[in-house]
């Protein structure tokens, strides 16, 4: 179990979440930032937290303490970290000392005056929620290559630039957020150009539809998710909605 947890931690750090090299800036123990909750300035009539956030390296904005170890963070930064770990199915641990935690101390005025935020009741960010819901698509609705060959592919309305945010997000969902997807995005963009050219031509240049060729091209990278990815891509490319509106519509019917 310890080896598995260490692996989780290494993978999380490798994803470049931090703006800081933790080996250089991290405290040597779990309480070196804030030696004791009793040390918080009890005379202050505003937030007693005035340090720098170890995630963004900027002065704290809406500063909070991790209840289990009293390390300080911007609330938005630590909640983004929590979402990041939850998306990967990893245990929620302090990014500085790896102490497991489930609560934050917020609105800290003094050692006696603060609020407690239970992370179990904190809603995920819209971005994290979208990634989770998109991940369900690939777990629930597997499209086979044979299914893809029988598809009546829709006409493309979006430009490649308009689709790129969706493409990068979906590839991150399928392959993991740490994966370099630059080659795959180039393959997809190139094939979308060919599909448009075929659709605009009175005599189709290729016998096989471009989306089917894309399934074949991506299969070596996405395995059984390739056909599902391309079908989902074709639906998004055929929509006139932007990403936020498309997600809202898709999730409302999901």
pTM (global) more than 0.85: no
Stretch 182-188: mean pLDDT, rounded? 96
**Radius of gyration (C-alpha) of the chain in whole angstroms:** 23
Query: Residue 104's pLDDT is what?
Result: 95
**Could you give the dihedral angle defined by the CA atoms of residues 178, 180, 185 and 187, in that order, rounded to the nearest 10 degrees?**
-140
pLDDT value, residue 253: 52
Least confidently predicted of 8-17, 75-84, 97-106, 176-185? 8-17
Model pLDDT, residue 97: 94
3-state secondary structure of 63: strand
Instruction: Supply the pLDDT for residue 60.
Output: 86
42 token code pair: 């009890």
Task: Put residue 16 in one of left, alpha, beta given phi > 0 → left and psi -120 to 50 → alpha.
Answer: left
Phi and psi at residue 106, to the nearest 5°: -120, 165
pLDDT at 30 over 80: no
Task: Walk me through the domains of the chain, giving residue ranges and CATH numbers.
Answer: 2-121 (3.30.40), 126-252 (no CATH)
Tokens encoding 43: 């005379």
Whether residue 127 has pLDDT greater than 70: no
* Distance (Å) of CA 66 to CA 13, 122, 124: 19, 14, 17
Q: Which residue has the higher pLDDT, 101 or 44?
A: 101
Q: What is the pLDDT of residue 201?
A: 78
Structure tokens at 185: 């995005």
Look at residue 82 and give its three-state secondary structure: helix
**99 vs 93: CA distance, rounded Å:** 5
Most confident listed range (130-139, 158-167, 197-206): 158-167
Cα distance between residue 117 and residue 74, in whole Å:
14
Residue-level pLDDT at 143:
82
The yes-or-no verdict on residue 26 having pLDDT over 50 is no
Would you tell me how many other CB atoms lie within 10 Å of the CB of residue 109? 18
HSE (side-chain half, CA atoms, 13 Å) at 164: 11
Find the DSSP H helices in 157-225: 160-175, 182-200, 210-222
């Amino acid at each position: 179990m310890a080896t598995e947890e260490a692996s989780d931690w290494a993978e999380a750090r490798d994803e470049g979440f931090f703006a800081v090299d933790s080996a250089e800036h991290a405290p040597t123990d779990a309480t070196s930032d804030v030696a004791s909750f009793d040390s918080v300035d009890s005379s202050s009539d505003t937030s007693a937290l005035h340090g720098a956030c170890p995630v963004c390296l900027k002065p704290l904005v809406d500063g909070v303490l991790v209840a289990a170890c009293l390390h300080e963070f911007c609330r938005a930064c630590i909640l983004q970290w929590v979402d990041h770990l939850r998306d990967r199915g990893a245990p929620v641990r302090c990014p500085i000392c790896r102490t497991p935690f489930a609560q934050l101390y917020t609105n800290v005025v003094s050692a006696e005056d603060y609020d407690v935020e239970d992370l179990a009741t904190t809603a995920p960010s819209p971005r994290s929620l979208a990634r989770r819901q998109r991940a369900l698509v690939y777990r629930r609705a597997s499209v086979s290559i044979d299914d893809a060959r029988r598809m009546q592919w829709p006409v493309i309305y979006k430009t490649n630039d308009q689709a790129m945010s969706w493409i990068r997000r979906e590839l991150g969902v399928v392959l993991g957020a740490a994966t370099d997807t630059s080659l795959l995005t180039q393959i997809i963009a190139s094939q979308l150009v060919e599909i448009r050219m075929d659709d605009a031509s009175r005599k189709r240049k290729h016998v096989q539809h471009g989306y089917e060729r894309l399934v074949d091209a991506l299969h070596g990278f996405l395995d059984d998710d390739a056909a599902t990815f391309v079908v989902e891509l074709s639906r998004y490319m055929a929509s006139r909605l932007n990403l936020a509106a498309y997600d809202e519509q898709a999730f409302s019917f999901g």
